[in-house]
Amino acid sequence: MKITLSKMNTKHEAPIAYELGFDESKINLNSLIHKEISICWDGVIICRKCAKKTKKSFGEGFCYPCFMSAPEASPCILKPELCQAHLGMGRDLEYEEKNHNKPHAVYLAATDKVKVGVTRTTQIPTRWIDQGANKAIVLAIVPYRHLAGVLEVALKSIYSDKTNWRNMLKNEIDDTIDLEEEKWSCYEMLPSDLQQYFIEDDRIYNFLYPAENYPLKISSINLQKTPSIQGILTAIKGQYLIFDNENVFNVRRHTSYEIELNVNE
């Protein structure tokens, strides 16, 4: 089946339900666990913004001009504290108003350690699933993205804002982490003007991923270097497919790649 890759769709179930593609080409990936699959890239990349062919993908599926101009690739996507939407500024004001001048959550997520992050409230719990988190808790709700970034930066001296993807894929989990305790220890460390956004809801979101087993070692596949991969699918976590030969494939990183996916029954 030929499809243009985009990030896997997920549903918060036990285990997480994964789908790839859209409409007629939609694939239930959970059903492929234990099966041998092959992914072959034909050398084509279609920019997710302008739909033109590009020799190289920038960001998550953009040609270079779109990467430099599209609001979806704005620097504040990775660094929310840089967002200027609340000032009426940005690459695309309509996009900024729709996506960045909306309530955002600041959260703690845990795998082998605790990380701090930011997401729109409408992306709960999708954001945590995409990161492969074991569990997560919301610290605060703020009215717009920039403010979420300011709060996140205030906590970066305590927590990383990045997931150790290798440990995540090996399913290295610290079960002793108490996210509720971590959350309220953060409260005392923030300036009073930021404390007002903390919420009292201490719900812990837990995530179980479809997996037969996890690898002891990790070998990440890049289609630019290895355009054809094959193996038995043993797990899906975050936005990664994990194979029995310890190869892992980051689907989201290969957004806009046109591939042929086959299941060997």
- Rounded to 5 degrees, φ, ψ at 223 are -65, -25
pLDDT at 23: 67
What radius of gyration do the chain's Cα atoms show? 19
Quick check: 265 pLDDT over 90?
Answer: no
Q: Dihedral sign, CA of 191, 192, 196, 200?
A: positive
Is 180 in contact with 137 (CB distance < 8 Å)?
yes
pLDDT digits (tens, 9 = 90+) for 3-20: 999 999 999 999 999 999
Q: Dihedral sign, CA of 24, 29, 31, 36?
A: positive
Maximum separation of any 2 CA atoms in the chain, in Å? 60
> Given strand 27-28, what is the order of strands in its sheet?
9-11, 17-20, 27-28
pLDDT at 83: 97
pLDDT digits (tens, 9 = 90+) for 113-159: 999 999 999 999 999 999 999 999 999 999 999 999 999 999 998 99
pLDDT digits (tens, 9 = 90+) for 15-51: 999 999 876 678 999 999 999 999 999 999 999 999 9
Residues 262 and 265: their CA atoms lie apart, in Å, by: 9
Stronger pLDDT, 63 or 23, i.e. the higher one: 63
Q: What is the mean pLDDT of the chain?
A: 95
Please state, as a whole number, how many other Cβ atoms lie within 10 Å of the Cβ of residue 23. Answer: 5
Question: Which one-letter DSSP state was computed for residue 258?
Answer: E
- Rounded to 5 degrees, φ, ψ at 135 are -160, 165
Q: Percent of the chain beyond pLDDT 70?
A: 99
Please state, as a whole number, how many other Cβ atoms lie within 10 Å of the Cβ of residue 174. Answer: 12
Asked whether the whole model's pTM tops 0.85, one would answer: yes
Q: Percent of the chain beyond pLDDT 90?
A: 92
Residues 245 and 216: their CA atoms lie apart, in Å, by: 10
Is 258 in contact with 45 (CB distance < 8 Å)?
yes
Amino acid at 181: E
Please state, as a whole number, how many other Cβ atoms lie within 10 Å of the Cβ of residue 16. Answer: 21
Residue 89 — very low, low, confident or very high, per pLDDT cuts 50/70/90?
very high
Domain boundaries along the sequence of the chain:
2-63+211-264, 104-206
DSSP three-state, residue 136: strand
Residue 177 — very low, low, confident or very high, per pLDDT cuts 50/70/90?
very high
Amino acid at 138: V
